[in-house]
Amino acid sequence: MGLMEKFFGLSWGIHPKDHKRPAADAVTRIMPAPERLYVSLAQHLGAPALPSVLVGQRVKKGDLLANPQGSVSAAIHAPTSGVVAAIGEIPAPHPSGLPVLAVTLAADGLDEWSEALEATPDPFALAPDEISRRVAAAGVVGMGGATFPSALKLASSRKAGVTTLIMNGGECEPYLSCDDRLMRDEADAIIDGIRLMLYATGASAAIVGIENNKPEAIAAMQAAAQAYSEVSVRSIPARYPMGSEKQLVQTLTGKEIPAGSLPAEVGVVVHNVGTAKAVRAAARYGQPLVSRLLTVNGGAVKHPGNIVVPIGALVEDVLAFAGGFSATPGRLVMGGPMMGMSLPHARVPVVKGSSGILALAGAELADREEGACIRCGSCVRACPMGLLPLEMARHIQGDDLKGAVKLGLKDCIACGCCAYVCQSHIPLVQYFAYAKGTLAAEDRAKLHADATKKLALARGERLAQEAREKAEVAARRKAEREAAKLAEAAAKTATAATVKTVETEGAPA
Amino acid sequence: MSAADYTDYQAARAFASPHAHGGGEVRRTMFLVLTALVPATLFGFWLYGWPAFFLWLMTLISVLLFEFMSLRLMGQKNAGRALGDGSALLTGWLLAMTLPPWSPWWVGVLGAFIAIVIGKQVFGGLGQNVFNPAMVARVALLISFPLQLTAWVTPLPLTPLTAPGFIESLHITLGQTPVPDAITSASLLGYAKTELSRGIELAQALTTSHAPQLSWLGARAGSLGESSALLILAGGIFLLITGVIRGYAPLGVLAGALIPAFIAHSIAPESYLDARSHLLSGALMLGAFFIATDYVTSPTTGAGQLVFGLGVGLMTWIIRTLGGYPEGVAFAILLMNALTPIIDRVIKPRILGRTWSGRPIVSADAGKEA
């Protein structure tokens, strides 16, 4: 930190202790499929996938288990060969542990790949849309944790005319090193994947941004990218949340993404480096996303490191494979310590977006009772979005959610910088999550109420219409009846007249 | 460890992110500020002798008692722990530093009561008060007891009189021995005001032999802990380096007071004191680094703090120069405290991706390709 920065605090974000080593330097391990895998059907942003297998069905590694459903969704594949044991609910990898629908697979131990994979020697010979299609078929989602279906992002970038592909190698979350490890181990594959993504999106250049606390990864990626002028690898300052889309784009391109817009608004799209590898596997070898590299770390872990884990493996299996605990953990977290989710227990499955499993020891947590805000302004300085966390929290405490929205609640990215620096240990992120959730529920309730109102109005109108029609029909009938009566009467007089005539003129013929 | 550990783990509850914390603590911050006050305070003890120490001690004990009683009255169960955050101690310490060093004991106790009970707890306790509690007490005391609050003593180590001993000092603090006239002295600001009001030009007044002298080290008649500009500055720099305070407010205070002082003195040296005298007199230094930087009662943004500081500085100069009181830092702070909510309402940081008015920015690339 410079002197000016020190005296005047001219910066966003925080510099947390990164705890990345020694886990980042440990050799990558590969975890074999455990006996049972619990493959969640809702492990991407959007609608859950629809199962396409039956219980008892035999599948091979890479076979389709579930189809995407709706416009934003992703396919799910078998992480190993075996038999579908059940399709039902399991606890979700979420603090609530609420149930989620999953396909339970009993592994046969052979780990045989499916024969149906579409490999291609030269994916650059395919049409760009064909690459997106293959990526969709492989169920690839954003590997940084947001898990947005990648194929949709590739196709929409092409439509939006994106010119620059930003590759996120920031990995600013403390403790996590899976992207670092991947870039060190498989730089060539990542660069190949980036080139495929450039081809699929039609962007002309790719910039890989890597935080300067990962010199090995920067060196490996620069060496791998040397042959390709369209891919540049840049070292960026290590600062949390550098890996956040808006901050990364601004750091690398100087462009500011307008509030409420996608990066495409400024001609860029952001993908994680891990996604590039998955895109390559899908486009070149037709391999679906069935495993991922994740970091097992934390003060309570005996042998921290990075492990290739099949999707659907239980956290307890991964921890057992990693070598177990050295101490009783105070908290289990999926993801990083800043934005990750606490786990209710270890019997939840790894999903496509799991970048890490942390077993944090008590000393790392700094759990304290919430104190009074002393308005020190640390949160204001730390907020990478330029918000006033203390003011927003004050409004939320007073149940003035609209006031919080006015202060920019909807611009909050929940990065946790404010709560990290808070001297009074106020759980600011929790306040904001509560407010956002309540507002979303209110919006839904309002939609519901509006729909109900509409229906009620329509019913009223319909009833009125019916009444009107009934009245009309009744009136018509009455008119008809009267007309008929008149006609009858007329007919009667006519008959009478006829009879008279007949009487007077003699018998009819 | 056995596999049973994994199946045994059960979260006590759902924890909100983030799961890591930077380690900052209110208690640590308060402790750092107290540490920064130590050099100037020790110098004050040396300068003014045992009575200064007794007054300081009296004030600190009183704030702790009043804070504890208030917390208890409000039904806080672990009042003892809340006391440990150091905020009351800091308030008391700052108050003591602004008092005349030979004030009787009840000045400290009454000041502590005003600061803690009326200035802080009545508003709702830590973080809720609008006005700086130490300054509220300082001003209330000054208005209520102008005599006791302006009884400045000449620094004893520099006089032929021997400093009062331990027991004699106790008598002074207990108010049994009145402060002898021989060792009281006017502060420079008070002296200048009096001389000006008598129609004597400053240049003439300040060259006479009995005019108070100022120095950076601070051997002058004044409040317990305000006299040494150098040691207060050292404490301020310590706070800047440890990141407890930022430079905006101190810069604002000094600029706000010294720039007009410099201009006025350049134009009419016979009726306006020079910038150096303003800087080294009264509570300007202490106010700039320790009072205007109070978290609770000053704005939260850097720009807001600068405006706040400029306001404090300017008000101080105006009160010192045009007002009825020779010193104006405490009044200036309170006036600007009242403006803090407005400053915070008007001066906000720009949200990323939005203009200053809060609308989404229009990107230069927009509309190029849709």
Report the pLDDT value the prediction gives residue B204, as an integer from 0 to 100. Answer: 75
Chain B residues touching residue A385 (CB < 8 angstroms): 351-353
Report the pLDDT value the prediction gives residue B75, as an integer from 0 to 100. Answer: 84
Domain assignment of residue A165, yes or no: no
Question: How do strand A205-211 and strand A231-236 relate by DSSP bridges?
Answer: parallel
Assess contact for A4 and A10: CB atoms under 8 A: yes
Domain assignment of residue B300, yes or no: yes
Average pLDDT estimate for A417-436: 94
Say if the Cβ atoms of A408 and B351 lie within 8 Å.
yes
pLDDT higher than 90, residue A494: no
Q: Measured between alpha carbons, how far is B102 from A268 in angstroms, rounded to an integer?
A: 70
Average pLDDT estimate for B200-212: 72
Q: Is the peptide bond before A22 cis (omega within 30 degrees of 0)?
A: yes
pLDDT higher than 60, residue A352: yes
Report the pLDDT value the prediction gives residue A166, as an integer from 0 to 100. Answer: 96
Q: Measured between alpha carbons, how far is A294 from B135 in angstroms, rounded to an integer?
A: 56
B4 touches chain A (CB under 8 A): no
Report the pLDDT value the prediction gives residue B102, as an integer from 0 to 100. Answer: 86
Domain count, chain A: 1
Say if the Cβ atoms of B300 and A337 lie within 8 Å.
no
Average pLDDT estimate for A24-35: 95
> What percentage of chain A has pLDDT greater than the value 90?
82
pLDDT digits (tens, 9 = 90+) for A243-277: 999 999 999 999 999 998 999 999 999 999 999 99
Domain count, chain B: 1
Q: Measured between alpha carbons, how far is B315 from A411 in angstroms, rounded to an integer?
A: 38
Question: If pLDDT is split at 50, 70 and 90, which confidence band does A125 have?
Answer: very high
pLDDT higher than 90, residue B210: no
A423 touches chain B (CB under 8 A): yes
Q: Measured between alpha carbons, how far is A485 from A467 in angstroms, rounded to an integer?
A: 26
Report the pLDDT value the prediction gives residue A310, as an integer from 0 to 100. Answer: 97
Question: If pLDDT is split at 50, 70 and 90, which confidence band does A448 have?
Answer: very high
Say if the Cβ atoms of B302 and A7 lie within 8 Å.
no
Mutation site for A-interface testing, chosen from B6, B8, B13, B19 by largest number of A Cβ within 10 Å = B19
Question: If pLDDT is split at 50, 70 and 90, which confidence band does B3 have?
Answer: very low
Average pLDDT estimate for A105-110: 94
**Closest chain A residue to the Cα of B6, Cα to Cα:** A316
Of A6, A320, A331, Cβ closest to residue B3 = A320
Domain assignment of residue B2, yes or no: no
Say if the Cβ atoms of B18 and A342 lie within 8 Å.
no
Question: If pLDDT is split at 50, 70 and 90, which confidence band does A499 have?
Answer: low
Residue B191's domain is classified under what CATH number? 1.10.3430
Residue B90: domain span:
26-345
Element (H or E) spanning A99, and its range? strand A99-107
A265 touches chain B (CB under 8 A): yes
pLDDT digits (tens, 9 = 90+) for B134-189: 999 999 999 999 888 888 877 765 454 556 777 777 777 777 666 666 566 777 88
pLDDT digits (tens, 9 = 90+) for A469-480: 999 999 988 888
pLDDT digits (tens, 9 = 90+) for B123-134: 988 999 999 999
pLDDT digits (tens, 9 = 90+) for A385-406: 999 999 999 999 999 999 999 9
Nearest to B322 by CA among B153, B197, B201, B138: B197
Average pLDDT estimate for B216-243: 89
- Give me the DSSP letters along B75-102: T-TTHHHHHTTSHHHHHHHHHHHHS-TT
Domain assignment of residue B243, yes or no: yes
Chain A residues touching residue B127 (CB < 8 angstroms): 372-375, 424
For residue A2, count CB atoms less than 10 angstroms from its CB and return exposed for 0-12, middle for 13-18, buried for 19 or more.
exposed
Domain assignment of residue B18, yes or no: no
pLDDT digits (tens, 9 = 90+) for A204-248: 999 999 999 999 999 999 999 999 999 999 999 999 999 999 999
Element (H or E) spanning A492, and its range? helix A428-505
Domain assignment of residue A224, yes or no: no
Question: If pLDDT is split at 50, 70 and 90, which confidence band does A491 have?
Answer: confident
A331/chain B closest Cα distance in angstroms: 7
Residue A109, by phi and psi: left (phi above 0), alpha (psi -120 to 50) or beta? Answer: left
Domain assignment of residue B145, yes or no: yes
**B302 SS3 class:** helix
Which carries the bigger pLDDT value, residue A468 or residue A501?
A468
Report the pLDDT value the prediction gives residue B211, as an integer from 0 to 100. Answer: 67
Domain assignment of residue B86, yes or no: yes
Domain assignment of residue B201, yes or no: yes
Q: Which two tokens stand for residue B77?
A: 């169960």
Which phi and psi angles does A442 have, rounded to 5°? -65, -40
Residue A395: domain span:
370-509
